[in-house]
Amino acid sequence: MTSIDADNIECRQHQLICIDGQGYIDRVVDETDAEFETVRQEAVAGDKLISLNPDEYILPGFIDLHIHAPQWPNAGVALDRPLNEWLDVYTFPMEAKYRDVEFAKRVYDDLVNELIANGTTTALYFGTIHNEANLELAKACVRHNQRGFIGKVAMDNPEETPENYRDASAKVAVEQTEEFIHQLEELNQTAMVKQTPVITPRFVPSCTPELLKGLGELAAKYDLPIQSHCSENDWENGFALEHYHKRDSEVLDQYGLLTDKSVMAHGTMLNQSDLTRFKQRGVAVAHCPISNVFFGDAVLPVSKLLQQHNKVGMGTDISGGYSPSLYQNIRQSVISSRMLHQGVDPELSPEERGTDNQQITAKNGFYLATVGGAEGLHLKTGQIKAGYLADLQVVKAPLTKFEDESLDQTFEKIIYQATKHDIKQVFVRGQVAKG
């Protein structure tokens, strides 16, 4: 089961997915192909054939475009609080604990294992300001065969960050970001699944102009991915307008932080000028539907972004999002889009109640979690086709069949019902990560 485009999937039975020695899909052989039986027998003879049960299906591995790794212990905590209070009282104190490397090891090993169990083969992570802890996150990814994109968080603005958890200065933050780049280069010399450093200004409020400028220059110097938050909610959106007299996206663009390797999270307050700028720069949006319910102040109009050919993928936003499952986030993305389209105020007439933003489908959400994420990170993965990375999940159909059903129906049942217990095996670059 794999996306063809944002609206359509291909579901086939009885195929052979042939993986080469580099972890790429060499070819996909259908049972109607003349060579099918020959290829199958060769795999059997070489003890290389992995067979599925009749109720198991292969899907591409999921790509999570936005995770705050150090917030994993807080998943589901204080989601009823305003964002600035949630950060100051719960989140920053938790992230400050990662000066303790042993604590980081325990948390990150558990987190990466949990994400793999949920079918996430690639993850874009915010770390903390502590490079030793960030390196432990990278090592956890290597141990569990997960492809990690990892950022040393940069935040130096004393007005918006606590004294015990911020970079000493813009200069120090840039220097330590560059140091982490080199640390990952060294780790990658012996790692099967490579880890990628990411330039990571937390968001505009937490960074001084000097830091934003320095990080933009560093991203250009090393040609690296960039991640941050953009127009996340009323408070963050308003901060840029008040302090810079510019849109959030304009501030980031001014400092070279909007490129075709940038992923900006949430975006519930993006306007058309922002979306046009994103499209011109090639910026991807990480849609975080569960988190947006709690902190986004609005619903991202995903159908509009897809229609305009903006790049958009899916993120869990742990711990603003309580669930590490992209299945759960796909479901919430569909629910939120329906509420945006239909409206929620019964005091209004049906004609006035909703919006013109069309609801999305399970197939659209699946596309975001696979192809959309791959495009955002410039990875040749997210689809089951020749030449693509063999990042795969084997999923057991979660419900009993009482009569014949189409593969489309089976797909929808998987998307809406599957849990990590239904994910029987996970492969990253052809290597077993689960099962």
- If asked whether residues 146 and 173 sit together in one domain, one would say yes
Residue 53: predicted pLDDT: 94
Domain of residue 55, CATH code: 2.30.40.10
Q: Specify the 3-state DSSP secondary structure of 341.
A: helix
Span 14-50, pLDDT tens digits? 899 999 999 999 999 999 999 999 999 999 999 999 9
pLDDT at 80 (0 to 100): 93
Specify whether the CB–CB gap between 66 and 263 falls below 8 A.
Answer: yes
> CB within 8 A of 413, min separation 6: which ones?
397, 398, 399
276 lies in the same domain as 340: yes
Is residue 115 located within the same domain as residue 86?
A: yes
Determine the pLDDT at residue 400. Answer: 87
Residue 318's domain is classified under what CATH number?
3.20.20.140
Residues of the chain with pLDDT under 70: none
Q: Do 321 and 212 fall within a single domain?
A: yes
Structural domains of the chain, count? 2
Cβ neighbours of residue 14 closer than 8 Å, sequence gap 6 or more = 30, 31
129 and 74 in a single domain? The answer is yes
Task: Name residue 386's amino acid.
Answer: A
Residue 365 CB neighbour total at 10 angstroms:
26
* Best CA proximity match to 156, nearest among 91, 104, 93, 209: 209
Q: Residues 117, 174: one domain?
A: yes
Which structural domain, as residue segments, surrounds residue 319?
A: 62-377
Specify the DSSP element, H or E, that contains 184.
Answer: helix 170-188
Long-range pairs for 7-16 at CB < 8 Å and ≥24 separation? 7/361, 7/363, 7/364, 7/367, 8/363, 9/363, 9/366, 9/408, 9/411, 11/407, 11/408, 11/410, 11/411, 12/407, 13/407, 16/40, 16/43
Query: What's the pLDDT score for residue 381?
Result: 98
Angle at 317 between CA 313 and CA 318, to 5 degrees: 145
pLDDT (0 to 100) of residue 382: 97
Distance CA(173)–CA(201), nearest Å, equals 10
188 and 53 both lie in a single domain: no
Strands 423-428 and 147-154: unpaired
- Is residue 369 located within the same domain as residue 395? no
Domain finish residue from 332, 360, 377: 377
Residues 21 and 80 in one domain: no
